Amino acid sequence: MQDLLRNLEETVGALKLTTEQRDPYSAGHQQRVAMLASAIAETRDLKEEQVEGIRVSSLLQDIGKIYIPAEIL
């Protein structure tokens, strides 16, 4: 299970980095959104797994930028 979680974190990190490289203007945005969304989720007394799911999905919220031409970004 630990290996699976580590692989998930590494995959999410690679996708986040790829997205930030495609749009350097908004670099760091995903991390800030994840921190804010996680903090809000914690105040809602959600389960730890739910808070983690919100954090991960927040990190991936801009994944569509990978396929948008750089000229548009």
3-state secondary structure of 47: coil
Query: Contact 19/67 with Cβ under 8 angstroms?
Result: no
State yes or no: pLDDT of 70 exceeds 80.
no
Instruction: Enumerate the domain spans of the chain.
Output: 2-67
Where residue 3 falls among pLDDT bands split at 50, 70, 90?
very high
Apex 31 CA angle, 28 and 37, nearest 5: 140
**Rounded mean pLDDT of 8-22?**
89
**Tens digit of each residue's pLDDT (9 = 90 or more) over 16-67:** 888 888 887 888 899 999 999 999 999 998 999 999 999 999 999 888 888 8
Where residue 4 falls among pLDDT bands split at 50, 70, 90?
very high
3-state secondary structure of 45: coil
**How much is the pTM?**
0.80
